[in-house]
Amino acid sequence: MTGKKPILPVVKPQKFGYRASDMLNSPQWGNLKDIVKTERERGNDIPKGFLRQFRNHEAIWVTHKPEDAARYALSADNWHKPISRKKALNLVERVDVAGAVPYIDDGDGGYLYVRKRTPKGRGKK
């Protein structure tokens, strides 16, 4: 990327993160292009040049705290209610994000982790 400012991580990368374990939010890595398209359709800000910088990459949204991830499994009415760590751990799955980098922060405790695409059948959940 000559002459272009690289997109940098938003926080220190972790070895694992958490995602709500309901069917709609299954903890799997997805095609970065599809994720970016969805986020832009939702009106979320994705840095210019993001897809160009991360060609052939995949991504996953995770949180660093189970309590933050558990909120995604709750109804909108309960979103801001406190949830105990014990209850949260029953609503989330731990996701291996070692080697991936968090490039986008959603402002609600969620981070978009990005890594080079893995060959089919070799990726970790």
Contact assessment for residue 125 and residue 64, using Cβ atoms and an 8 Å cutoff: no
Beta bridge partners of 79: none
Does the pLDDT at position 115 exceed 90? yes
Neighbouring C-beta atoms of residue 21, cutoff 10 Å: 17
The pTM score is: 0.82
Q: Using pLDDT thresholds of 50, 70 and 90, give the confidence band for residue 120.
A: low
- Exposed, middle or buried: residue 14 (CB in 10 Å: 0-12, 13-18, 19+)? middle
Q: Return the pLDDT at 1.
A: 42
- Backbone φ, ψ for residue 38 (5° rounding): -60, -45
| Residues 89, 73: Cα–Cα separation, whole Å | 12
- Exposed, middle or buried: residue 111 (CB in 10 Å: 0-12, 13-18, 19+)? buried
| Strand (E) or helix (H) holding 67 | helix 66-70
pLDDT (tens digit, 9 = 90+) per residue, 16-49?
Answer: 999 987 645 556 899 999 999 998 998 888 888 8
